[in-house]
Amino acid sequence: MDWLRDWNTNARNTSVCQVLVSTILRELPPSRLKSLDGVSKTVEALIAYSDRHFQRIDRMLQKSYLVDFSIVTMKSLLPVGESESVNEKTSSDSEADEEEAKEQPRKRGKAATTGKSKKQRV
């Protein structure tokens, strides 16, 4: 449990940590968890950092609504005919890009075909 506490201190690892904590809490009976040494302090730290991560994610979600609102507002500034054509171009461009990516095999870089690394080519 201590390494879960350490993982939970970093935002990059918090999602993995939360899944593991959830699994442990579902699978192990409370009596077993209570018998572990120092589990109460570990759980307190997990709760504190989990709360911080929740608040951070909530702020990010609120900011994403602001971005969505800004995009919708900017579209309303375009002339009537243009805003419809922009929507059509955007959806058709993304569909064309997806089809093109599926059809074309992955290209190998110049270094991969010549056998030379970047350092050797410079």
Evaluate if residue 122 carries a pLDDT over 80: no
Which of the two residues, 20 and 120, has the higher pLDDT score? 20
Q: What is the pLDDT of residues 77-97, one digit of tens each?
A: 877 766 565 556 555 555 655
- 50 touches 10 (CB < 8 A): no
Which of 38-47, 64-73, 88-97, 108-117 is the least confident region? Answer: 108-117
Evaluate if residue 51 carries a pLDDT over 90: yes
- Average of per-residue pLDDT across 55-79: 89
